[in-house]
Amino acid sequence: MSAPLLEFAVPGLGALPAVAAQVAKAIRGYSIVCFEGEMGAGKTTFIKALCEELGVQEEVSSPTFALVNEYRDAHNKPIYHFDFYRLNNPREAEDIGALEYFDSGYLCLIEWPSRIEPLLPSNRLLIQLTVTGDESRELKITN
């Protein structure tokens, strides 16, 4: 794993908007942003804060069962939010057209990317969320 490009301490939920604003700037130029962290680390919670920062008006929720949710940013461009936790193999992601989403050039926010690793393009960012306390997290961005 490469050295982190950026690291943030997130002391609690109240810090999410400020960190999301920093991350929104850091991900510019990337269409594939992957989120790793143990169950309950806050991947979906952080994605909600990030989408809010990007101007998403609709409710952001985990696509655990749908596999992908589509939102619209402040410029009415799509943002695709994936949750691949329930997949048994990358083929299942191919079956829902994941590669077409990834090739669209639109922002794809991917939870549990390790489940589909062979399908991911090399030009991507990884955001690792680590639990450091009841509400505190550490967030590291690498590429």
Q: Does 80 fall in a domain? A: yes
Could you tell me the residue range of the domain that residue 61 belongs to? 6-142
- Report the mean per-residue pLDDT for the chain: 94
Question: Over the range 114-137, which residues count as b (16 or more CB within 10 Å of their CB) and which as e?
Answer: ebbeebbeeebbbbbbeeeeeeeb
Q: Does 54 fall in a domain? A: yes
pTM: 0.94
Q: Does 1 fall in a domain? A: no
CATH assignment of the domain containing 93: 3.40.50.300
Contact residues for 124 (Cβ-Cβ < 8 A; gap 6+)? 30, 32, 33, 34, 143
The model's pLDDT over 3-57, given as tens digits with 9 standing for 90+, comes to: 678 999 999 999 999 999 999 999 999 999 999 999 999 999 999 999 999 999 9
Distance of CA 126 to the CA centre of its chain: 8
DSSP-derived secondary structure letter, 72? E
